[in-house]
Structure 1
Amino acid sequence: MRGKPRSTLLVPVLLLILLPFSLPSAGAAAAADGKPVVTLSKSQAGTGGSITVSGSGWRSRTLLMLLVCGQATPARGVVGGTNSCANADGRAVTTDAEGRFSRALPVTEPPVPCPCVVHVATATGAKAQADAMFQVAGHPVEPLPAQTGGGRLSVLTDTRLDGSGSLLTWFGAPPSRTLAFTVGNVGTAAVKDPVFQVGTAHGVFAPQWDDRQWHGTLGPGEKARVELPVELTAGAHGDYTVSLKYGGKVLAEQPWGVGRPWGVTLFWILLCLVVPAAVFRVGLAVVDRVRPRHAARRPARATRPARAPRRGRRRGTAAPPPRPAPPTPNTTLPWFSPETGPGGPAGRLSAPHEDHPTSPTSPTTPGRKGST
């Protein structure tokens, strides 16, 4: 029997060589499905080292957070939420125009035991996340908490924040809303009085969780409308994210834009204007009270003679002549008599006779001439 041609034998060999390159990997398959992918340069490293985290299939120009988290697997996610991650040593990265990124991440022990993952999630916009298995060398490993069988709650649709601000919120009162959503029991047992966790996060910070209990019973396949109160601190403003978690799993997230309390700003502006004005007025009052008061020396006003009342006169008539001033009384010194005074008759060299024509006491008659 003749041997087979060499070309026939080379075909299977080439197929075996090219087969690993032709099979799509898990990351490539996830990228083909439109899901984000995360790959690590190392699957294990010790504390103090660093690894390179790469990703693809993300939205372009999106801010991502990279964290090392414990008690997590890619299948179940991070059981305890971001509270199980090393948040202080996380890193942020922005994807390029094609949705790719590459960033160095320091290796830090998470606050809970492993199994651990490198958790990558969007910080803003629509929610998207991906996990990659990672082992922190020297960190304890414990099995994940068993999933409780029976009832399982899931948020269906129509998650929103109801409510609006008030005048008090404009002046710095705590903003409050109501987180309303429809929840359904997709398990096989009833769920009675479930306790949800509502978290509020400002920007890229980790959310602060508060327990909210809903009173009621949900049987298998049933759904109900749930409303939970949400409240921020006084004076809060900016972009917030309200998250809903049940059973260690985040069920929904809702953005919340809180306006700035401009009433507080107006109050401080008025305070800066009123307080200096009040201090200035008080200072003027103090200076006016403290300064010495001297009696003003004013010259005595000369007494003016009383004016005679004006008599009414008709138009065209001449005004009456002014009255003569009253004669000034002749005051004489006490040691002179009217007859012996310097201006009296006894003081003259020669006293005129009454019949003398030049006597000042005798009236001058017209037509009569005196002797010279």
Structure 2
Amino acid sequence: MKIEPARWLRAFGSWGAALAFLLALLPALVLAPATGAAAAGKPGATLSQQQAGKGGDITVKGAGWRPDALLMLLICGQATPARGVIGGTNACANSEGRAVTTDSKGGFSKKLPVAEPPKPCPCVVHIATVTGEQAATDVVFKVAGHPVAALPKPPPGGRLAVLSDARLEGSSGVLTWFGAPPGRTIVFTVGNLGSTPVKDPLFSLGTSHGVFAPQWEDRQWHGTVAPGKKAQIRLDAELSAGAHGDYQVAVKYAGKVLVEQPWGVGRPWGVTFFWLLLCVVVPAAVFRIGMAVVDKIRPRSARGTAGGAGRRRNALLPGPTVRRPAFRRPERAASPPGDGPHPSTTTVLPWFTPDTAPSEKYPSEKYPSENHPAEKHPTTKGNS
């Protein structure tokens, strides 16, 4: 059989095209399971029962969550997977909620008691992370015997959606270091996906700390977002005085959480320094005041210098009194007239016999001297 070259080339070209097509399709076939696995990695959960009454329990199993993550399980009313929990955690049976930690593969299994939420059904089992990166999912569940009501209608107007990641702007000042309330501004961009403009939308701003539910406050943004347009939203958030630790700031619109942003607040070390300083200054001041009071009320004789106190103490003590003898300069006796010089004679008294020397005014008969001869007195003998 003879094969023409042109025909052979056409056949080879057909087989080459088929081979090239298979080679191009091979990566897609290889990556398909990986894509399915990635899709399966999205956080999800299943329920052991789709309906149960109050007092029973169901088993919630999850997969695709972050490993070693703390999750919160709640039964909530007025909620659907499409619209989420419209009333927030206020529409959930919080007292009957349960917490569970995922394993190293991101899976979990936990029994959840069935309770009636404060809002009517439709109801869901709401699973959400407590800390770290936020993730949540809702599984339809019916509480037997619980009333059912229609969901509230969304607000008239357009439909806002977040177009950019939220961020916190601002910084703490010196007063925050001493316990002043820290504040930030959360900034994000929204777009109007509806057909009518949105004028002065009302947002709900909530801050939460740890495992506590956020406290929501209404914040109205003044402006109009036209259909197909976008706008930047800026809302001010402020914490209480002395707040510190890890916080979460969330913004909700029409019952749906739009953005969530973590906020780490440093400890106000100025307050700690103030209390330490107060613990040192107050005792020192009390000690000084106490010493001043003691010095004021103690006896007057106890105050003064040590020398003065010693002299007063000696003056009060009884004891013998010693009198020092008086010193008298000795007098020089007059010398009698004569031819030559005569040695001067002085009366020297012992130091222990004061005031006993004979004087010229009252001569002594018992102790005559040459300067003061004794006067002769007539006697009865030999006198005629």
Class of the TM-score when normalised by the shorter of the 2 chains: 0.7 to 0.9
Map Cα deviations across residues 50-102 of structure 1 (whole Å, 9 max, x no partner): 22211111111111111111101122221122221122332111111111001
Q: Considering only aligned residues, what root-mean-square deviation do their CA atoms show, in Å?
A: 2.9
Amino acid in the other structure paired with 2:359: P
Which one of 202, 210, 214 corresponds to residue 221 of structure 2? Answer: 214
* SS of structure 1 residue aligned to 2:300: coil
Report which stretch shifted further, 245-254 or 103-112. Answer: 103-112
Partner of 2:183: 176
**1:162 pairs with one of 162, 169, 188:** 169
Instruction: Determine if the alignment matches structure 1 residue 193 to structure 2 residue 200.
Output: yes
Name the % identity: 64
**Structure 1 residue 75 corresponds to structure 2 residue 97:** no
Does residue 346 in structure 1 map to residue 359 in structure 2?
no
Q: Which ranges of structure 1 fall in alignment gaps of 5 or more residues?
A: 1-28, 303-324, 355-372
Alignment match of 1:93 (pick from 90, 100, 112): 100
Q: Distance in 1 between matches of 2:49 and 2:220?
A: 42
Deviations 1:274-313 (A, max 9, x none): 111111111111111111222741558x9xxxxxxxxxxx
What aligned pairs does 1:253-272 form with structure 2 within 5 A after superposition?
253-272=260-279
Segment drifting more, 83-92 vs 113-122: 83-92
**Preserved CA contact (<8 Å) 2:195 2:227:** yes
Query: How many Å apart are 1:221 and its aligned residue?
Result: 0.5
| 1:252 matched residue in structure 2 | 259
State how far apart, in whole Å, the 2-side matches of 1:137 and 1:89 are.
16
Corresponding residue for 1:142?
Answer: 149
Q: 2-side partners of 1:43 and 1:239: how far apart?
A: 36
Q: Is the contact between residue 165 and residue 175 of structure 1 (CA under 8 Å) also seen in structure 2?
A: yes
Specify which of 194, 212, 234 is matched with residue 205 of structure 1. 212
Contact 1:170 1:262 survives alignment (8 Å):
yes
Q: Is the 8 A contact 1:339 1:346 kept in 2?
A: no
Q: 1:83 to 1:352 in 2, by over 3 A?
A: closer
Kept after mapping to 2: 8 A contact 1:61/1:97: yes
Tell me if 1:115 matches 2:116. Answer: no
Shift of 1:31: 7.7
SS for the counterpart of 2:74 is: strand
Q: Which moved more, 1:282-291 or 1:36-45?
A: 36-45
> Do the aligned residues in 2 keep the contact of 1:31 with 1:56 (CA within 8 Å)?
no
The structural deviation recorded for 1:195 is: 0.7
TM-score for the superposition, normalised by structure 1: 0.74
- CA gap 1:190/1:353 in 2 versus in 1, 3 angstroms: closer
State the match for 1:128 in structure 2: 135
- Residue among 285, 297, 306 paired with 1:278: 285
- Matched length: 301
- Counterpart selection for 1:327 from 319, 329, 334: 329
Are the aligned partners of 2:44 and 2:63 in contact in 1 as well (CA < 8 Å)? Answer: yes
In the alignment, residue 50 of structure 1 is paired with which amino acid? D
The verdict on how the C-alpha distance between 1:192 and 1:150 changes in structure 2, with shifts beyond 3 A counting, is closer
Match of 2:381 in 1: none
Higher helix share: 2
In the alignment, the residues of structure 2 paired with residue 112 and residue 42 of structure 1 have an alpha-carbon distance, to the nearest angstrom, of: 21
